[in-house]
Structures are given as C-alpha cells and as structure tokens.
C-alpha cells in the first residue's frame, strides 16, 4: 500500500528552503569579500562559506533521522539517509574521465585536449596497475 506523506507547512518550507538560500546569499555577499580582502586565500574563504551553508542542513538531516528511527545508531542513520560507501573501481572509473572530459577547467591535461588527456590518464592508470602487480608478484 502506497503511503503519501502529509504536505509540509509554510513555516517548515521557509526553514528548509529559505534559510539555506539566505545563508548562501549572506556567505557569498557578506563573508567571502571581507575574508579575501583581509588576506585569506579565496579557496579557503569559499570552503568556509560552503561549510556554513551545508553543515546546518546536514545537522538537520542527521537530527531528523535520529528522531525518526526507533533505535538510532550511526549505522541505522546512514542507512536511513541512504549513505553508501564509494565503490573503488565502479564510481572512480566513471567519475575521473567524466570530470576530465566535461569540465573546461579540467579539460586539458599536460596542455593536451580532453580526449588525448583521457587516453593519457588511462595509460597512467594501467601503468600504475601493472607496476602494483609486478611489485606484488616479487614479494
């Protein structure tokens, strides 16, 4: 039987969607410029801003999962939130070439175009794998 949850109210909608948007606006407009002008590296300022924006929803999700579960533990909370371990071969083998080929900032490797860069990256991975197998066989 399909259970449809009740609609959330306006106050909860503002909390869930309005506050994160307000935090994003405040950190990018009010926090990052003074930090960068004060000598902070822009990457560090953006990392701090990202933490200020994304940590509160993460804490809210963890608290909600804790309250929703009859016997909360770290394992049951992660299962409830559908957090899974990254599969080493499956996820990484898809993400690295995708990142290299799709994003203009990462589209060049050693000054080459993306397709040549991907081939070079795959060659480096296979060389690494062959070297690891050789070292393992010797020991």
Q: For residue range 45-94, list pLDDT tens digits in order.
A: 888 888 888 888 889 889 999 999 999 999 999 998 888 876 666 666 66
DSSP class of 8: P
Distance CA 107, CA 95 (A): 13
Average pLDDT, stretch 99-114?
Answer: 53
More confident residue, 12 or 60: 60
pLDDT recorded at residue 94: 66
Give the angle subtended at the CA of 25 by the CAs of 19 and 31, to the nearest 5°.
115
Cα–Cα nearest to 62, from 74, 48, 50: 74
**Residues 49-61 as b or e (16 or more Cβ within 10 Å = b):** beeebeeeeeeee
């Amino acid at each position: 039987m399909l259970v449809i949850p009740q609609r959330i109210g306006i106050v909860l909608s503002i909390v869930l969607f309005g506050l994160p948007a307000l935090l994003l606006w405040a950190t990018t407009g009010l926090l990052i410029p003074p930090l960068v002008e004060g000598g902070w590296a822009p990457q560090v300022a953006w990392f701090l801003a990202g933490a200020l924006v994304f940590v509160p929803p993460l804490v809210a999700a963890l608290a909600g999962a804790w309250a929703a579960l009859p016997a909360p533990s770290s394992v049951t909370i992660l299962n409830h939130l559908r957090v899974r371990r990254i599969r080493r071969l499956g996820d990484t083998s898809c993400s690295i070439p995708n990142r290299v080929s799709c994003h203009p900032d990462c589209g060049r490797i050693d000054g080459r175009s993306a397709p040549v860069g991907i081939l070079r990256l795959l060659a480096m991975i296979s060389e690494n794998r062959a070297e690891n197998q050789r070292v393992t066989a010797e020991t």
